[in-house]
Amino acid sequence: MSFGLLNIGTQALNANSSSLAVVGQNIANVNTEGYNRQTANWATREGGNGVVVSSVERIVDQFLAKQLRGDSSTYNFDDQKALYSSQLDNILASASSGLDGAIDKFFTSMQNIVDDPTSIPNRNLFLEDTEALARRFNTLDDTLNSQIDVLNNQFSDISDKVNVLTKQVAQLNEKIQLADAKGTPANELYDQRDQAIKSLSEIMEISVSSNNGGVTESIFIGSGVPLVVGIDANEMVVSTGNPRINQYEISVRIGNNSVEVTDQIKSGQLGGLIDYRDSMLNPAINEIGRIGLVLAETMNAQHQKGVDLNGNLGGELFNDINDPSALRARILPNHENKGPTPSKQYVYITDITQVEASDYNLKFTSIRDFSITRESDGQVIKMSQLTQVTDPQDVTDGSYYVDWSTGELTVSVDGFRTELEVDGGFRLNNEYLIQPARYGARDFDVQINAADQLALGSPVRITENANNQGNGIALVEVDDVTRPTFTTGTQQLTPPVEVVFNNTDPLSYTVYDISDPDNPVPHDQGYGPMKDISFTAGDSIDMDGYTITINNQPKPGDRFTFDYNSDGVSDNRNALAMSNLQSQKLTPQGTYQQSYDVLVETVSSQTANAKVNLSASDAMLQSTVNQFASVSGVNMDEEAAKLVQFQQGYQAAAQLISASQTIFDSLLNSL
């Protein structure tokens, strides 16, 4: 009997000792990240033969563990997006880096030359502010594109970290598998693996699949692309984009194949970076590019309608938005396209007021069909929705010309025209990225470097006869200086004309060609002499390349002469027209500055939303962390109580052994 009592006491002593060791392990790892508390499970032996520690169990709630991974992914997504969107918001809204102040200064300086067009200092100051505006466009574009480089570096660093973690998970799977086969406890290995998996969930949303009762775990991303399968880990790699070579894409290398997963990563740090790049940074670059295109094109168009101090027609104030290098840069073929390289691929801006701040994808859905997808809103423009014409010169917005046999396509949508030629015809699924606005800010440049080349006056001079009796006021609006009326280099109006009011009732007028002042003849624009035309104040008199308007009420015999303004050095009419562009609605968003303000407001709103989402996801994560810790974390009060409990149990077991020894000694002494 004493032998049985001794055996029970010994087992109790061992069980309490083992339990004390578990408590000690918990206490020792109270601050160890990723450690899950353990508990010793006791089991009675059959036949009243004592007790045994049947297992040492990790206390983990798998539902909370999964919830923790999901909340970690969401929080880190919101954290990265809030971080970078705040940077973008600060860049765009800052007076030192944004466009608003530079555009305002440009027009303030222009107002000075409107007030005094003969002032060379004012002209020079305007040129300086014009160059400053160009530098601001260029610098802002550089700044935003440098964020692309930062994100690329982040993608590389994060991919390296992912590869370290996936290898760690695979190695731990192997160690746990071996420990399980040997029957060796592996709780710490399980903790390390869980911690590595949680770190992966901070980077991107993952799904975890358990095998063999959790002995090994496999990890997948997106639609089921495997990162870890058992003891094997696949490598995450970054590569230059296709066709956006300056923007990295992310792939998983599985054997000899690579699966591109950029679009499948929707959460975690990596998802936040991708979403920021695609939903905020790229649209901002496109919008700033579009504003640059609008400002350059509209200013050039107006400046070319003027005359400079030398009597010459105005040239381009800013760069030509359809410069040959710009035409080629706006379209990029997909690297996986089949067939020969296009012999021609150009994108022309045809109506800058209709251009969207978006990229487009042109895809051949068959060898005789194509579609164009606007990426900003996902709208698909099918070939069947466009009007086909038989001559490429007749292509206007919403129409196309195609020759399937030779591989020639000209198509125009949203204010730009794409011209594409591929020898031998188009191939199924070939794609082309079209970026009409992307480089507008990068290419923004000043073309005039001399003050006397600023075309501030109108090329049409109006001379009111000194003997006019009425109160008529003549105005001229130049429409097209490429017409024969304005022959470049001649400094002549062909022909000069004179509007003479006839002695009729109702009042009428005749437009005379005064090329020979001694023999004026009624002017003929090809549809008959312009004579005895009934007059209505404010009606337009359409000439070849310009329009005359006479307001108020002239008298019979009044006359107005229209000739080339070769010596109009004090004329500010074209400068005034250029200045007025500041208040004109030239984009769907409004004026130049209103378009930029809408961009700033949009980014600011997105940034505010990102911060709200971050606050919410942080609260959710902390709640889940606390719930998880309440189950799996080490509670020092609880461990202290267990320490006392097992100490007392240990001492009692020792007393039991001592009592057994006493009984045994008494038995020996009784013999």
The span from the CA of 563 to the CA of 577, in Å, is: 19
Q: Averaged over 206-213, what is the pLDDT?
A: 90
Residue 665: is its pLDDT beyond 90? no
Residue 666: is its pLDDT beyond 80? no
**The pLDDT of residue 45:** 86
Q: What φ, ψ does residue 59 adopt, rounded to 5°?
A: -95, 100
**The pLDDT of residue 3:** 53
Residue-wise pLDDT tens digits, 252-300:
999 999 999 999 999 999 999 999 999 999 999 999 999 999 999 999 9
- State pTM to two decimals: 0.91
Residue-wise pLDDT tens digits, 360-393:
999 999 999 999 999 999 999 999 999 999 999 9
Residue 660 binned pLDDT confidence (cut-offs 50, 70, 90): confident
Residue-wise pLDDT tens digits, 148-194:
999 999 999 999 999 999 999 999 999 999 998 998 889 999 999 99
Residue 671 binned pLDDT confidence (cut-offs 50, 70, 90): low
**What is the residue-averaged pLDDT of the chain?**
94
- CA 415, 584, 306, 495: dihedral to nearest 10 degrees? 80
- CA 47, 52, 56, 61: dihedral to nearest 10 degrees? 30
Residue-wise pLDDT tens digits, 524-533:
988 899 999 9
Q: What φ, ψ does residue 89 adopt, rounded to 5°?
A: -60, -45
**The pLDDT of residue 567:** 80
The span from the CA of 108 to the CA of 101, in Å, is: 10
For residue 219, count CB atoms less than 10 angstroms from its CB and return exposed for 0-12, middle for 13-18, buried for 19 or more.
Answer: buried
Residue-wise pLDDT tens digits, 63-97:
999 999 999 999 999 999 999 999 999 999 999 99
**The pLDDT of residue 46:** 81
Residue 517: is its pLDDT beyond 50? yes
Residue 212 binned pLDDT confidence (cut-offs 50, 70, 90): confident
Instruction: Determine the 3-state secondary structure of 193 from DSSP.
Output: helix
**The pLDDT of residue 1:** 46
Give the contacts of 667 (CB within 8 A, at least 6 positions apart): 2
Q: Averaged over 387-414, what is the pLDDT?
A: 96
Residue-wise pLDDT tens digits, 108-130:
999 999 999 999 999 999 999 99
DSSP lists the bridge partners of residue 500 as 510, 559
Integer-rounded Cα radius of gyration of the chain? 40
For residue 418, count CB atoms less than 10 angstroms from its CB and return exposed for 0-12, middle for 13-18, buried for 19 or more.
Answer: buried
The span from the CA of 10 to the CA of 27, in Å, is: 25
pLDDT above 90 as % of the chain: 85
Residue 2: is its pLDDT beyond 60? no
Instruction: Determine the 3-state secondary structure of 670 from DSSP.
Output: helix
Residue 656 binned pLDDT confidence (cut-offs 50, 70, 90): confident
Q: Averaged over 236-249, what is the pLDDT?
A: 94
Give the contacts of 164 (CB within 8 A, at least 6 positions apart): none
E-strand spans in 199-296? 207-211, 216-221, 225-229, 232-233, 235-240, 248-254, 257-260
**Lowest mean pLDDT segment, chosen from 30-34, 342-346, 381-385, 465-469:** 30-34
Whether residue 544 contacts residue 483, with contact meaning beta carbons closer than 8 Å, is answered with: yes
